[in-house]
Each structure stands twice: as structure tokens, then as C-alpha cells.
A = this chain, B = another copy of it.
Amino acid sequence: MAICGVMRPGHCQLRVLDLEESEKFYTNVMGLQAMGRDASGRSYFKALDEFDHHSVVLRQADRAGMDFYGFKVRDAKTLDQLEADLKAYGVSTERIPAGELLETGERVRFKAPTGHTFELYAEKTKVGNGLGNLNPEAIIDGRKGISPVRLDHWQIHGSDLDGSRDLFINVLGFSLVERILMEDGKTDMAVWLSCSNKAHDIAFVRDERDDTLHHASYYLETWEQVLKAADILTIHRASLDIGPLRHGITRGTTIYAFDPSGNRFETFCGGYDYYPDMDTVVWTWDEIGRGIFYHTRELNERFLTVVT
């Protein structure tokens, strides 16, 4: 088959300080669809055009951040193979039983060198996007809030970037799409990795704060929707970080903002289509500003320092 191994970012479990306030935010402002709570009180959400049961799980906690990051893989056989590959690479894995997350099959959990907890899974109940598979409509009308079409990717920080990068490339089959080099001209400051035709499915940034989240990213189809997302954030007086803007890296357009717990998120659009025969794009230290914020060509302090 032509798409194999790891398919896509499938779910993540986000810590929020006030669950009810967060449910309102993710429903009314972000425009995700509430899929209910489980017995432990976690609240499930899916994006507009996703067909699996959920992609975002909110868990009430006393500090913000992400509990774990889950990738959906091609099938059960792939899950077994990747688990074996992880073990062969020296990574400890754990099987989380089916049903621990609602409507989700067994998950293979492991910790990456940057301290983050990842999961692989092959099964999640399909609920569809509401259009059906028989003679469907071409758009989902009546969108509310920002209403991204899908969870897109994560940018996460930790000190052993090299370790996580190599693990994702050598074991999970990701490709190194873009990289920023540090002042020494050889050490990776940040890497963008893809397991698909997207310009990135995950990005790692070197940062002494292990197991931290810079942002979760949600996908919008057009630059006009990015503008509307910014407008909606203002209408709701949500905390905007920066944007609308374009990235040099991936060429995507975006805005960054914060959920009520201070978790940064991105509403992202565009980015080129990636194929693994493309050369890695390299950014040098002096051009990092333009790489991140293509128009202003300079970073802002908050974007660099705030993680959860």
C-alpha cells in the first residue's frame, strides 16, 4: 500500500484548569463538536471534518499542558510491528487497554527522549462528519465558532531534541521536512517532521523545559477563514498571541492564541504538500525570524517563552 505505518495525529489529552469553562471555549469559540464526557470526567471533542469519534480530550488538572499525544496507525498489524520496532530500538512500551479512552482501541504508549508521552493506536469508532458516505453534500453548513476541519499537528519542546527526532525518523518513519540550525551551524534548534503529505505532523523545539507544549494546531481551509478565526477570537475577547501571519517554514498562514488555561493553539492554513523525495529545507540562525514570522521577520518574546 502507498500510505503505511503512522497515518496522522489522531488524539491528544489536554489539561485544563476549569473544565466547564474550557468546554464552553472549545465549543463556542474554537467550534469543536462536544462528544460527551467519560466516567472519569474527561470531556471529548472532534473537529468539523473528522470522522473518528474524537481528537481532543480535556482533563481537569491543576496545571495546563498536554498529557499525551496519539497517532493513528494504518491497522492493528502495523500497531504490533511499530511496538516491536520501538522495543527493538530500546524504547519501553505499555499497552493501554481498549476503552480507556472512549470508543478507542488498544494504545501503545511510550515516552520520547524529550519527555513527552506518545501513543499509537489503530482503532477509534467512526462517527462520520455528518455528511454521510452516500451522495453527500460538499460542505458542512452552519459552522459555529472557528470550526477547524481537523486537529493538524503539535509543536512540543524538550531538551533531547536529537533523541526524539531520531526516534520519529528511524522507528516511526517520519521524514525531516525542515530544520532550524543553531548558531553553531550544525545543531538542530527545531525540526519539522511529517508522516504524510502534510508539511508537518509534529515539530520539536530544543528547550530545557522537557515535556512541554508550545501549541496544538487546528486546520482551516482558507486564508479568509484564518481572518475570520482572528475576528471570532476578538469577539470573544480570547487571548491572542500573534497573527494573522505567514510562516516562512512550511509557508503556512496562521494565528496563535491561548485557551482559557493558557494552552497555546494555532489555527493553521496552507503549507505545501510534502513528499519524502523532497530535500530538507534548512534555516540558519540569522534567518530564524523570517522562518517563523515571514512578514515581520522577528520573533516576539511571548512566542519564545510561553509553553505549558
Binding site for B on A (CB under 8 A): 1-8, 49, 51, 72, 74, 126, 133-139, 141-142, 144, 149-150, 172-175, 194-198, 221-224, 227-228, 230-235, 240, 242-248, 251, 253, 255, 270, 272-273, 275-284, 287, 290-291, 294-297
Contacts and interface: CB of A to CB of B under 8 A. Distances in A.
Please state the number of chain copies in the assembly: 4
Q: Is the interface of A mostly helix, strand, loop or mixed?
A: loop
Nearest to A75: B277
B134 A295 contact: no
A51 B2 contact: no
B235 A141 contact: yes
B1 A173 contact: yes
B284 A134 contact: yes
Q: Which 9 residue pairs are nearest across A and B when measured between Cβ atoms? A: A2-B195, A1-B173, A197-B197, A2-B5, A2-B173, A135-B287, A230-B295, A138-B251, A139-B231
Given A141-B232, A227-B253, A248 B3 contact: no
A244 B295 contact: yes
A223 B227 contact: yes
26 contacts: A2-B3, A2-B5, A3-B3, A4-B4, A7-B275, A49-B272, A133-B279, A133-B281, A135-B248, A135-B287, A136-B281, A138-B246, A138-B294, A139-B231, A139-B251, A141-B235, A149-B272, A222-B224, A224-B224, A230-B294, A230-B295, A231-B295, A234-B290, A240-B296, A242-B296, A244-B295
